[in-house]
Amino acid sequence: MEDVLILGIESSCDETAASVVMNGREILSNVISSQADLHMEYGGVVPEIASRMHVDAISQTVSKALSDAGTSLDDIDAVAVTYGPGLVGALLVGVNFAKGLCAVSGKPLVPVNHLRGHIAANYLCFPDLEPPYMTLVVSGGNTMIVKVNDYCDMEVLGRTLDDAAGEAFDKIARVIGLGYPGGPKMDKAGQGGDTARYQFSVPKTSNSLDFSFSGIKTNALNIINESKMKGTEIDLCDFTASYQTHIAEYLAGHVMKAVEATGIRKICLAGGVSANSFIRKRFDMESTRSGLEIYYPRLDLCTDNAAMIASCGYYEYINGTRAGSDLNAVPSLQF
């Protein structure tokens, strides 16, 4: 079988990215133009600014990805692009650019769900990883347990009913003055802290595999406000360590319920929040205790990137998935 080269394009939020991946597993190039420093001034991503920055960066980002890979558009078998979920203006930049490339080159256009792309990031780090397995997808906007039956056959077993894990991190980080991006700063702040000093309630959901983070967030706000009323200061290191550990235990507990329900003992983590050291430590403990196979991507492949889109696009491409010139951005795209 001849090698298949996929050009991936990602612009769902504040990263303009392009990548060339061979056979869904080998990264030949992975270029990211980040807007993080600019949005930091506003305490979060500003959609209008993100869209304009994508327009400015996308052409040179794709050109560099092709150049770094030592390829031209003629060598590419297909163009894979994120079409949702994400910010509508940001998504449209990537989708329209990809459609333009396909129009002038005659290459097939492959639409990719951003969340499925995060799952595919594991294929780039573990060449022997194959379905079936279970994935915990944790990001700023999503938290779900997904049963991966095959590369393009997946089913959601449980999802968040309100906030996502990333939102639970970011919102509390903002309240305690850590700023944006909250998740990484909270992770750093909690290193070496007492993970049991502050106690948080256990959320209850009707479906044992669904998540709810609004109660944890409210619990944290109550601890902060009570401390202010008493005129005392919370210990930032201990508080962030306790908070993150509680969320990590909550996530791991649900995954273990899914393991018991399905019998699947191969677990992947995916999404930006899977880079959190407290979550990784908790799953490493579960691996040691229960003998589970645990996989999670390299840190640079946890956050938004185009290599994961190209990898996912490869499997969609060989599965026959194609899009036409009428492909549109779908900001609220479901899994």
Choice between 52 and 180, residue whose per-residue pLDDT is larger: 52
pLDDT band with cut points at 50, 70 and 90 for residue 91: very high
Give one DSSP letter per residue of 84-119, joined into a string.
ESS-HHHHHHHHHHHHHHHHHH---EEEEEHHHHHH
Helices assigned H by DSSP within the chain: 36-40, 47-68, 88-105, 114-125, 165-175, 182-189, 214-229, 236-262, 277-290, 299-302, 307-318
- Quote the pTM value: 0.94
Q: What is the pLDDT of residues 185-212, one digit of tens each?
A: 999 999 999 999 999 987 766 668 999 9
State both tokens at 186: 């909270």
Contacts of 291 (CB under 8 A, 6+ apart): 265
CB 222 within 8 A of CB 228: no
The domains of the chain, with CATH numbers, are: 5-121+302-318 (3.30.420.40), 128-299 (3.30.420.40)
What strands lie across the sheet with 133-138, from one edge to the other?
153-159, 143-150, 133-138, 266-270, 293-295
Q: How far apart are CA 48 and CA 196, in angstroms?
A: 42
Question: What is the DSSP-derived secondary structure letter of residue 330?
Answer: -
- The pLDDT assigned to 206 comes to 65
Q: How far apart are CA 27 and CA 152, in angstroms?
A: 20
Find where tokens 């060339």 sit: 20
Q: What is the pLDDT of residues 37-82, one digit of tens each?
A: 767 766 777 778 888 989 999 999 999 999 999 999 999 999 999 9
- The pLDDT assigned to 20 comes to 98
Q: What is the pLDDT of residues 288-322, one digit of tens each?
A: 999 999 999 999 999 999 999 999 999 999 999 99
Q: What pairs with residue 137 in β-bridges?
A: 144, 270
Q: How far is CA 247 from the centre of its chain?
A: 17
Q: How far apart are CA 181 and CA 186, in angstroms?
A: 9
Tally of residues, the chain: 335
